[in-house]
Structure 1
Amino acid sequence: MTLPPLRLPDKASLEAILATLPSASADADLVPTLSAAFPGFDFSVARIDDDYWRDTRSVIRPDGTRVGELRPWLTAELAKDGGDVKAVWSRLKETDLQITEWRGTSAFVFAATGPAAADYIQIALGREIEWRAGPIVNRDYRPWGAQELLDPSWPRDKPLPDSARLVGPLYRLLDRAGGAFVHVRSFLDRCGRVEREKREAKRPEMERRVVRETGPRGVTRETPFLDLVPDYFEFVPREVRFFRDWEASSAGAQRVFTHWALDARDYCHKGEREVGFIPRPLKMPSDRLLMTPETTAHQLMDRIEAIDREIALPFGWFFLMTHGHWVEADVGLAIADALKAQRVRLPDPNAAVLLRWAEQTYGF
């Protein structure tokens, strides 16, 4: 019996589903609701502490009654006083009006679609709460321009108590750059195709390009660019290499999405399409691993093994290194040199991945 293909989520369906989640139980209901809407998928969710603020704010009274949206309401108040910022501030600071603001953090939902490293879907969400942020103006500081009234930043300098929560959490798609929903395998195919198309479009230019070098006797030599970079048209994007390296290494025994979220993007800038992602670790070591002149290869091996144990991922240090923050690239280069000199050892698959990376490094 042939089973029908799974119905992949789509933007419209996801937005409709998220709108049904009651704020009181949104955290608990998110995965079960998605599972009911898209049978056959085993959804999981990971949250990341990356605070952001929406530009939507409201004016409310102490009892919670909403007066209006902050910017249009304050624009009208400014008009009443002929645009006199000081007059508006003086008047409003004597009222009991308050402002609200939406604070959010990222959440990522994952579900496998097959056994390979890239066989999964990712949904990027914002988990947002509306808070009672404070009085409508800072009573201790007079704003010097209308923008300080219309877009006040001062309430954000302090955490808010839970009693200040008004609405939420609510979930919504974070479609900042076309990456709210991705089927990762299809996304990687797109990365490779767009890169190939960009390079093919430059083929006539690259075939004409030469690199000029002046020798010690002042003799200029011209070398065709493609002789120096013969694999220019076979370039593999870093995003694709990340997943290939994952599958080829010890990390491949685990799913990528249990350790990494992808800040995906697919947009046009100045007429050119940009497709890619920045990986974001879900599990981080307690300390950064930095290369110092006195650090030996054996000390580095001890440190990378400790990182792998801490994040519960074999060869996990390598992928943290490609991310660029937690492990310096010089660490990988030093270990690669030690491997070549047979002073240290790694499992053969991991050694092959590291040496290939050292020949042509990539990072995010």
Structure 2
Amino acid sequence: MRREYDLQTDVLATVVATTPVTLKHVALLTAFATRTDFRDARYVTTRDTWSARPARLVTADGIEIASDYRAWVEQQLAEHGGNAEAVCTANRTKGYLLTEVQPVLHYFSHDRGGDQDNFVQLEVWEEQEFIARELFARQATDWGRPTIDDLRNGHPDSGFEERLERRDLGTPRYRLGRAIDMRVFTALVESLFSDRHRRDGDRLLRVTDTSTGSESVRSVREFTPGYDQHISRERRFFDDWTESSAGQSGERICTRWIFQTSDWTDPKAVRWISFVPGWGHNQKVAAVKDTHRLDAYGLFGRLNQFDRRIGMPFAWYFYGLHGNLVKDGHLERILEAAEQGLIVLPENNYRVLRRWRDLPYGF
């Protein structure tokens, strides 16, 4: 189902799929600039945390048996009454090789300027197909029986497959993952949050005064000062960036962070949409640690050193909202030190930090 923020088109998918993989994605960036509306797209970062997945089934001579391994498995299961062991027995002597695809995910952003959320995030998969092993052991083993899940995942005889030297098939290829209008996405996040927050605020609670025993009924909103001023953590992330030295210095959030989006509907037909930011730096950055021996001034110096490594001001605050390079305890110590006059923070950064302490959030 196409979502409100989806900008994928068949034309865009074709442009991506037909562009060769080159060093630093030069060809793809050129294609974006000359063949799409995303003329100012730039590379942000890469994530390579995915395992290889089954792709095709071929013979030792390279003849294709099935272009879609999982579809072949389902057909085989249907022919053998859903018996995974029978499928293995029927195919053990055929010498079939399983090809797999190793994916990595590249993030690009097309900044449209203005508000910090006014950009398009482009997610592009780079995939390399290869042969690593025979699918079935030549002989059945006594080490357990293959399950249907084992078969579907391409490991019916896990630990006993004939291992081969990895052989790449062809060259890597690009495939369009998603093109997300982050301004529309964030507006939708905030709209759903506001509706849900308003409904939650209307809930009534029965309260008993322990000293008098009298009872009263009050709404959640009445119990929570400033309840109607709350906004989503996603909106706050952009707003904090805009107000702080990060945004005021001219840094654009879409060149520094990527956004792992989520959009799903629960069994009660309630839609949940959100994102988790991920840092976009491509160099190794050491965590701020061993700070318990440091006084506030020493900690502040360590955080400013962290900013220099990242290459922008107030980076430590945003890294403190997500990940393990900066801890939220560091944020608390810095705010306390600023309020005690031990260190000096720019006023805009102090406001952001104080607002975070008054109503903490993170990812």
Q: TM-score range, shorter-chain basis?
A: 0.7 to 0.9
Q: Percent identity?
A: 24
Q: Secondary structure at the match of 1:58?
A: strand
CA distance in 1, matches of 2:309, 2:38: 33
Gaps of 5+ in 1: 1-7, 175-179
2:321 pairs with 1:341: no
CA distance in 1, matches of 2:318, 2:137: 46
Question: Which of 134, 141, 145 pairs up with 2:147?
Answer: 145
Question: Which of 255, 258, 262 pairs up with 1:258?
Answer: 255
The answer as to whether partners of 2:7 and 2:180 remain within 8 angstroms in 1 is: no
The answer as to whether partners of 2:32 and 2:38 remain within 8 angstroms in 1 is: no
The answer as to whether partners of 1:42 and 1:111 remain within 8 angstroms in 2 is: yes
Aligned partner of 2:116 in structure 1 is 117
CA distance in 2, matches of 1:18, 1:134: 30
Q: Secondary structure at the match of 1:254?
A: coil
RMSD: 3.3
1:113 to partner: Cα distance: 0.7
Q: Deviations over 1:17-56 (max 9, x none)?
A: 2232246799442111111123572111234233324755
CA distance 1:53–1:324, change in 2 (3 Å): closer
Aligned partner of 2:176 in structure 1 is 173
The answer as to whether partners of 2:133 and 2:164 remain within 8 angstroms in 1 is: no
CA distance in 2, matches of 1:230, 1:125: 44
Q: Deviations over 1:167-189 (max 9, x none)?
A: 44222233xxxxx2222223222
Q: Secondary structure at the match of 2:271?
A: strand
CA distance in 1, matches of 2:176, 2:98: 25
Q: Secondary structure at the match of 1:109?
A: strand
Aligned partner of 2:42 in structure 1 is 44
The answer as to whether partners of 2:108 and 2:121 remain within 8 angstroms in 1 is: yes
The answer as to whether partners of 1:285 and 1:326 remain within 8 angstroms in 2 is: no
Aligned partner of 1:350 in structure 2 is 349
Aligned partner of 1:65 in structure 2 is 63
1:79 to partner: Cα distance: 6.9
The answer as to whether partners of 1:27 and 1:169 remain within 8 angstroms in 2 is: no
Gaps of 5+ in 2: 1-5
Q: Secondary structure at the match of 2:48?
A: strand
CA distance 1:207–1:51, change in 2 (3 Å): closer
The answer as to whether partners of 2:98 and 2:154 remain within 8 angstroms in 1 is: no
1:82 to partner: Cα distance: 6.9
| TM-score normalised to structure 1 length | 0.81
1:275 to partner: Cα distance: 2.2
2:243 pairs with 1:241: no
Question: Which of 12, 23, 29 pairs up with 2:10?
Answer: 12
CA distance in 2, matches of 1:134, 1:11: 36
CA distance in 1, matches of 2:9, 2:356: 36
Aligned partner of 2:316 in structure 1 is 317
CA distance in 1, matches of 2:235, 2:222: 25
Question: Which of 205, 208, 227 pairs up with 2:222?
Answer: 227
CA distance 1:189–1:344, change in 2 (3 Å): same
The answer as to whether partners of 1:41 and 1:113 remain within 8 angstroms in 2 is: no
Q: Deviations over 1:57-112 (max 9, x none)?
A: 21112332211133343455567777665565466454432101122121112111
The answer as to whether partners of 2:44 and 2:256 remain within 8 angstroms in 1 is: no
Matching residue's letter, 1:169: P
Question: Which of 270, 274, 277 pairs up with 2:275?
Answer: 277
| TM-score normalised to structure 2 length | 0.81
The answer as to whether partners of 1:61 and 1:98 remain within 8 angstroms in 2 is: yes
